[in-house]
C-alpha cells in the first residue's frame, strides 16, 4: 500500500515538496479490525492546520508519518463482527490507498439513496458543519437574512440550501462568475463575486440594504469585517473557518470590529464534532430534503492518489466547486 507522508512543515502556502508518497506495510488483521480499499479520499481546509506543529482541536500530522483524513472505501477483509467483505464504510485513515482500521472507528454507510462519496461532503462532516453551524450555533430562523462566505464550497453550499429550505434570505460570496451563478441556482437571493474588483464591504452594503441577521464565516479577514459593517443589532455570527489566514502569518486588520459592542453582535466559534451526538437530526432533515429534491450536490473530482496534494492545494486557490474529492 501507499500513503502520503508529511515531509516538511510548510511556512505559508504548502508546496508539493512538503508531501511524499511512500510505501507502507500494512499488518495482518487483529481481532476487531477491517481492511479497507479506499475509493474516495477527502481533502479539507482544516488539514492545513494539522501541518503546523501547534496544539489544536486535532493533533498535528507527524513529520515523516502517514497523514490522516476522511475516506470512503470497501471492506476487503474483516475480523470484526458486523462488517463483511463488500461493505462500504467511512473512516479517518485517508491519504492512502488501503488501510487497516479498528472497526469501532469506522462507520458503515447508511443506505439513503445517495452516492457513496456524498458521505465525505454534504451528508458528512462538511454538511454537518453547515447544518449545525447555521441552525444551532447561529440560531438562524425563518425570515433572517443570512450572509455566507465561500458559498460555493462544501460547507457554504450546504448552508445556502439549508437556509433556503428554512425560509431565509441568503446572500453568498464566492470567487468568480461561474461559482456565483451556480450558488444562485441553489437558491441564493444575491451573490457577491469577491474577485470582481469591488471591496467586499462595499459589495455587501449594496447587497444587504436592510443588514444581515446571521453571518456564517468560512473566510475571515475582509469578509468578516464586511459582515460586521452591515450586521443588524443582535446579529449572530457562526465562526466556522477563516481560510483567508490559514496560509498567512500576518493577522488581518478589521475596521468594523468595534461594532460588536454597540450592535450587541454575538460571535460564536464551533467545531463540528460538538454535534456528533445529534447525527440523527442531521440525517432526518437532510434525508428528507434530499428526497424532496431540495438539495443539490456538486463535486470537483481529482483522479488518482498521486494527485492528492494538488487537490488539497487547490482548496486555497478555489479550484473546487462543491466538495473537493480524490477518486482512486
Ligand atoms: P470549501 O469547499 O469551501 O473549499 C475552500 C474554498 O474557500 C475554496 O473553494 C475557495 O472558494 C475559498 N477560498 C480559499 N481561499 C480563500 C480566500 N483567501 N478568501 C476567500 N475565499 C477563499 O471548503 P470546506 O467547505 O471544506 O470548508 C469551508 C470552511 O469551513 C473552511 O474555512 C474550513 O476550515 C471550515 N470548516 C470548519 C469546520 C469546523 O468544525 N469549524 C469543519 C469543516 C470546515 P472561492 O473560489 O469562492 O474563493
pLDDT at res. 179: 98
Residues 88 and 164 in one domain: no
Tell me, in angstroms, the distance from the centre of ligand 1 to residue 237's CA: 16
In a domain, 266, yes or no: yes
Question: How many domains does the chain contain in total?
Answer: 2
Residues 214 and 253 in one domain: yes
pLDDT at res. 249: 76
Q: What are phi and psi of 305, to 5 degrees?
A: -60, -35
pTM for the structure as a whole: 0.97
Locate all alpha helices (DSSP H) within 29-70, ordered by sequence.
46-50
Give yes or no for a contact between 65 and 95, defined as CB atoms under 8 angstroms apart. no
Tell me, in angstroms, the distance from the centre of ligand 1 to residue 253's CA: 20
User: Which of 50, 155, 193 to mutate to test ligand 1, by most ligand atoms within 8 A of the CB atom?
Assistant: 155
Residues 105 and 139 in one domain: no
d(CA 304, CA 101): 22
Residues 95 and 207 in one domain: no
In a domain, 278, yes or no: no
Residues 24 and 152 in one domain: no
- Residue-by-residue pLDDT tens, the chain, 328 positions: 999 999 999 999 999 999 999 999 999 999 999 999 999 999 999 999 999 998 888 899 999 999 999 999 999 999 999 999 999 999 999 999 999 999 999 999 988 889 999 999 999 999 999 999 999 999 999 999 999 999 999 999 999 999 999 999 999 999 999 999 999 999 999 999 999 999 999 999 999 999 999 999 999 999 999 999 999 999 999 999 999 999 987 877 899 999 999 999 999 999 999 999 999 999 999 999 999 999 999 999 999 999 999 999 999 999 999 999 999 9
Residues 14 and 85 in one domain: yes
3-state helix vs strand vs coil in the chain, percent to 5: 30, 25, 40
CATH of the domain at 165: 3.40.50.720
Residues 134 and 220 in one domain: yes
- Protein residue whose Cα sits closest to atom 8 of ligand 1: 318
CATH of the domain at 69: 3.90.180.10
Please give the number of the atom of ligand 1 that sits closest to the Cα of 271: 40
C-alpha grid cell for residue 53? 506543529
pLDDT at res. 112: 82
In a domain, 286, yes or no: no
Tell me, in angstroms, the distance from the centre of ligand 1 to residue 173's CA: 11
d(CA 211, CA 205): 8
pLDDT at res. 236: 98
C-alpha grid cell for residue 269? 466559534
Is residue 299 classed as helix, strand or coil in its secondary structure?
strand
- Protein residue whose Cα sits closest to atom 19 of ligand 1: 244
For 237, the domain range is 125-273
In a domain, 167, yes or no: yes
In a domain, 281, yes or no: no
Tell me, in angstroms, the distance from the centre of ligand 1 to residue 26's CA: 33
| C-beta atoms surrounding 112 within 10 Å | 13
Residues 34 and 169 in one domain: no
In a domain, 267, yes or no: yes
d(CA 103, CA 89): 9
Residues 19 and 135 in one domain: no
pLDDT at res. 55: 87
Question: What is the value of ipTM here, to two decimals?
Answer: 0.99
Tell me, in angstroms, the distance from the centre of ligand 1 to residue 214's CA: 18
Tell me, in angstroms, the distance from the centre of ligand 1 to residue 161's CA: 16
Ligand 1 neighbours (beta carbon < 6 A): 44-46, 126, 129, 150, 152-156, 174-175, 179, 218-219, 240-241, 243-244, 270-272, 315-316, 318, 320, 324
- Protein residue whose Cα sits closest to atom 1 of ligand 1: 153
In a domain, 283, yes or no: no
Residues 196 and 254 in one domain: yes
Residues 263 and 314 in one domain: no
Residues 304 and 253 in one domain: no
In a domain, 86, yes or no: yes
d(CA 182, CA 203): 19
Amino acid at each position: 500500500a501507499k500513503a502520503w507522508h508529511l515531509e516538511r512543515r510548510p511556512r505559508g502556502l504548502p508546496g508539493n515538496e512538503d508531501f511524499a508518497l511512500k510505501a507502507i506495510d500494512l499488518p495482518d488483521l487483529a481481532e476487531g479490525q477491517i481492511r479497507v480499499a479506499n475509493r474516495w479520499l477527502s481533502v479539507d481546509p482544516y488539514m492545513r492546520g494539522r501541518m503546523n506543529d501547534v496544539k489544536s482541536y486535532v493533533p498535528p500530522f507527524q513529520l515523516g508519518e502517514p497523514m490522516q483524513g476522511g475516506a470512503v472505501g470497501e471492506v476487503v477483509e474483516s475480523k470484526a463482527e458486523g462488517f463483511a467483505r463488500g461493505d462500504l464504510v467511512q473512516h479517518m485513515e485517508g491519504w492512502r490507498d488501503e488501510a487497516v482500521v479498528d472497526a469501532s472507528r469506522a462507520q458503515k454507510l447508511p443506505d439513503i439513496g445517495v452516492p457513496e462519496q456524498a458521505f465525505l461532503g454534504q451528508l458528512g462532516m462538511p454538511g454537518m458543519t453547515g447544518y449545525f453551524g447555521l441552525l444551532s450555533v447561529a440560531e438562524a430562523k425563518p425570515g433572517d437574512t443570512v450572509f455566507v462566505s465561500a458559498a460555493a464550497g462544501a460547507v457554504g453550499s450546504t448552508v445556502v440550501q439549508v437556509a433556503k429550505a428554512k425560509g431565509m434570505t441568503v446572500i453568498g460570496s464566492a470567487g468568480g462568475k461561474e461559482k456565483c451563478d451556480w450558488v444562485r441556482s441553489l437558491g441564493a437571493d444575491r451573490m457577491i463575486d469577491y474577485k470582481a474588483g469591488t471591496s467586499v464591504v462595499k459589495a455587501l452594503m449594496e447587497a444587504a440594504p436592510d443588514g444581515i441577521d446571521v453571518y456564517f464565516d468560512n473566510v475571515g479577514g475582509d469578509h468578516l469585517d464586511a459582515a460586521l459593517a452591515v450586521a443588524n443589532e443582535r446579529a449572530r455570527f457562526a465562526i466556522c473557518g477563516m481560510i483567508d489566514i490559514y496560509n498567512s502569518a500576518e493577522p488581518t486588520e478589521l475596521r468594523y470590529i468595534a461594532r460588536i459592542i454597540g450592535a450587541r453582535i454575538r460571535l460564536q466559534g464551533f467545531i463540528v464534532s460538538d454535534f456528533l451526538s445529534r447525527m440523527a437530526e442531521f440525517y432526518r432533515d437532510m434525508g428528507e430534503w434530499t428526497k424532496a429534491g431540495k438539495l443539490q450536490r456538486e463535486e470537483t473530482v481529482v483522479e488518482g492518489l498521486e494527485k492528492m496534494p494538488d487537490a488539497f492545494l487547490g482548496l486555497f486557490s478555489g479550484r473546487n466547486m462543491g466538495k473537493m474529492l480524490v477518486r482512486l
